Chain A
């Protein structure tokens, strides 16, 4: 028994020695050193760098389209498709309203103007957005502008921006009211929410066909020509930012926005997923997003996170910012903060008025204002009223 055990041990030692010697012979010392070198963050984020007209652009390593030529080809394909779908719609409009109607001319003009760009991500840029919750009045104009800018199908009720109406004392997202009709009230906070363009997006990890990926400037894009509509990314997103086209997408030539980007607002296909892309067709060409542009109170700021003089870094330094669901660990690039001044909320006595916008019309002494409800304060508080009724 003892001899047998010794034999096994000897054989084991021999085996280890032979493996070691073979390893030393086979492996190159420098290669081993390279293997042991720790991976830096830059290594992981590396993409394919292309210099066009002296400007450095990056194509993300995650992207299935590795060269500008491939993207260009895709853009051409999508442009032809968008033009065809637009013309179908324009023909229908012209048939209905006549060839000489201004609608027909406008629709045809839109179709001719369609240009699908394939602008690449610039090197060293990381787009981010900051939103002042003290200023936001919950008017949902951003959601409306977003629908118009990004050619979202009007027949399905998809809105990339949802405005969460939450109690001011606790920012618990599940106790939210999405279907409010009246705002702003002083005890509520309004949180416009779209895609957070996370640093570690769970949605791109789960995609079985790499139809969605993070671009080098941090925008998470979807290629509508690759999406298989499995809805796994909708399941994985902690912010409910993704939407599926559950029915055929209607392209309306009259309301179409002809300024398109190949990975952005080009009309999507049926049964594919879509989401906020930080208006990639505007921002990559030096513009700002539609929601920033439309915001009546200037609650939103958009800029490059890596720029220390930019609006985002200045806001973070000045006020401090927070993100939604930090425990999801996705590192969102959509920052919220409570700024120094609050837009005056609606008067509880006079809830239907919009007095806060300009100078309030001053009622004469003693007389009720033009917008005051007959019941005054009591009619506003429904719970109280019902108690009294009982």
Chain B
């Protein structure tokens, strides 16, 4: 009986401390909610308007009058307002979806260190990492929901059958499995955060049972790797897209995910330490995290090297070569690459060979080289300048560098080159339109909102458990 009361108390703890903050907290909440609502309104009123109208009025037989009052009409709008086309059917939304799935996967790395290896410092960090995973999965799933053409139908035909009676609409489709693992990972992380807060909020003497957290990690660990692996499986087995069609894609996704997730968490923990007086993170946690992220970054860079060798050295597959030109070609390597690729590069880029990538998509090659150079620089700094990773400012610098490098690598660079040029050799340069950028920002704003609302009760519980001044440490 008392346990049930305690559960209700935990729920109340979440509600209370999510909203119990100063004026700055409320400004942040309103800003994020307002930004999200405004840009989602743009999405509903322009990009998805005809689809929403057709589904609600023609198929679900709702009244059309109030939809028309909101400005949603059957004959205007559509995804034509994005720069996606039959040549490039996946754009900015899916690119950032891939990135945020990676961020989510890294949350469990800290859970491993904390609950499996019983590291005292990482115990203080793990629940925040799970909160980050919840926020990241929210952003990722929201982006897919905004990306599909018929969002309401997606819920009817895909989400509800899977969630209610675990019936896969098409058991061949990786999309279905991705939905399953993402949803499970979201639920598992909500449970994890709840368990941690349920005990920690009661004071220093209460901690979740070891076996329970161990069991939690046994389920969450494989799922964390699984979400990103299955996300890579969506694209890596497609024969039509030689740029993706390699078994290296899934490991490369996971490697860079394990670099970016911890880097983001380090930045968030620094902000939390600054604004929550009682919350202390031991210094060695930062150093260890940066080192772990660097190891993952080295693996990711190594995979990029392997990819470059594979696409340039012996490959005679034309489409792969052209797509690789779009990613790797830059003025400072063009003389090395010239003899290997001149035929197809000339065909698509003309005789002005020493350029960034393919015409219209120069940004892909630039992002790729930013990733390679910034990532290598971060690795060199971590390895050869130890004082940097021992100081707060140095850690912040390194984490920012790693995060930026992975943002460059795992957004547009992993998705778009597979479509440019497309399977029939049509070069349709893709560049996100303002509405795409706005909708992506909306998803991120709502993700930040979820992050702050979940992280605050977690931090309060952690402060209560570990004491206001970290005396246990």
Binding site for B on A (CB under 8 A): 81, 156, 158, 162, 164, 172-176, 178, 193, 202, 204-211, 225-232, 234-240, 242-244, 246-248, 250, 269-272, 328-330
Closest 9 CB pairs of A and B: A229-B149, A271-B149, A174-B425, A231-B89, A247-B78, A208-B175, A238-B240, A247-B80, A205-B172
Whether B424 and A228, one on each chain, are in contact in the complex, defined by CB atoms closer than 8 angstroms, is: no
**Segment 168-200 of B: residues with Cβ below 8 Å from A:** 169-170, 172-176, 179
In the assembled complex, which residues on chain B have CB atoms less than 8 Å from the CB atom of A330? 239
Q: Which residue of B lies closest to A244 (CB)?
A: B86
In the assembled complex, which residues on chain B have CB atoms less than 8 Å from the CB atom of A247? 50, 77-80
Q: How far is the CB of B389 from the nearest CB of chain A, in Å?
A: 41
Q: How far is the CB of A238 from the nearest CB of chain B, in Å?
A: 4
Q: How far is the CB of A172 from the nearest CB of chain B, in Å?
A: 6
In the assembled complex, which residues on chain B have CB atoms less than 8 Å from the CB atom of A269? 54
Q: Which residue of B lies closest to A231 (CB)?
A: B89
A329's partner among B75, B84, B239 (CB-CB below 8 A) is B239
B153's partner among A173, A193, A228, A234 (CB-CB below 8 A) is A228
A206's partner among B87, B150, B175 (CB-CB below 8 A) is B175
Whether A174 and B322, one on each chain, are in contact in the complex, defined by CB atoms closer than 8 angstroms, is: yes
Given A158-B86, A235-B238: 9 more A-B contacts, CB < 8 Å: A176-B424, A204-B172, A208-B170, A209-B169, A226-B157, A240-B86, A240-B87, A247-B80, A271-B79
Complex: how many Å from CA A193 to CA B422? 15
A238's partner among B75, B84, B239 (CB-CB below 8 A) is B239
In the assembled complex, which residues on chain A have CB atoms less than 8 Å from the CB atom of B149? 227-231, 244, 270-272
Q: How far is the CB of B407 from the nearest CB of chain A, in Å?
A: 23
Complex: how many Å from CA A246 to CA B46? 12
Q: How far is the CB of B388 from the nearest CB of chain A, in Å?
A: 42
In the assembled complex, which residues on chain A have CB atoms less than 8 Å from the CB atom of B239? 202, 238, 328-330
Complex: how many Å from CA A247 to CA B238? 27
Complex: how many Å from CA A261 to CA B196? 58
- A-B contacts, CB under 8 A, total: 151
A248's partner among B75, B147, B150, B418 (CB-CB below 8 A) is B75
Chain A CB count within 10 A is highest, among B148, B322, B418, B421, for: B148
Q: How far is the CB of B283 from the nearest CB of chain A, in Å?
A: 46
Q: Which residue of B lies closest to A166 (CB)?
A: B425
The answer to whether residues A174 and B318 also contact, given A228-B157, A235-B241, A271-B150 and a CB cut-off of 8 A, is yes
Tell whether B259 is near chain A: CB-to-CB under 8 Å: no
Q: How far is the CB of A285 from the nearest CB of chain B, in Å?
A: 28
By secondary structure, the A interface counts as loop
Q: How far is the CB of B364 from the nearest CB of chain A, in Å?
A: 17
Tell whether B204 is near chain A: CB-to-CB under 8 Å: no
Interface 0/1 of B145-161, CB less than 8 Å to A = 00111100110011000
Complex: how many Å from CA A192 to CA B200? 68
In the assembled complex, which residues on chain A have CB atoms less than 8 Å from the CB atom of B241? 235
Whether A238 and B423, one on each chain, are in contact in the complex, defined by CB atoms closer than 8 angstroms, is: yes
In the assembled complex, which residues on chain B have CB atoms less than 8 Å from the CB atom of A162? 424
Q: How far is the CB of A143 from the nearest CB of chain B, in Å?
A: 14
Complex: how many Å from CA A202 to CA B423? 14
Complex: how many Å from CA A335 to CA B153? 37
Q: Which residue of B lies closest to A249 (CB)?
A: B50
Tell whether B380 is near chain A: CB-to-CB under 8 Å: no
Whether B421 and A174, one on each chain, are in contact in the complex, defined by CB atoms closer than 8 angstroms, is: yes
Whether B78 and A208, one on each chain, are in contact in the complex, defined by CB atoms closer than 8 angstroms, is: no
Whether B78 and A246, one on each chain, are in contact in the complex, defined by CB atoms closer than 8 angstroms, is: yes
Whether B424 and A193, one on each chain, are in contact in the complex, defined by CB atoms closer than 8 angstroms, is: yes
Q: How far is the CB of B400 from the nearest CB of chain A, in Å?
A: 33
Complex: how many Å from CA A178 to CA B150? 30
Q: How far is the CB of A63 from the nearest CB of chain B, in Å?
A: 12
Interface 0/1 of B69-89, CB less than 8 Å to A = 000001111111000111101
Q: How far is the CB of A113 from the nearest CB of chain B, in Å?
A: 22
**Segment 83-126 of B: residues with Cβ below 8 Å from A:** 84-87, 89-90
Complex: how many Å from CA A162 to CA B87? 13
A173's partner among B175, B179, B425 (CB-CB below 8 A) is B425
Chain B CB count within 10 A is highest, among A210, A234, A272, for: A234
Q: How far is the CB of A201 from the nearest CB of chain B, in Å?
A: 11
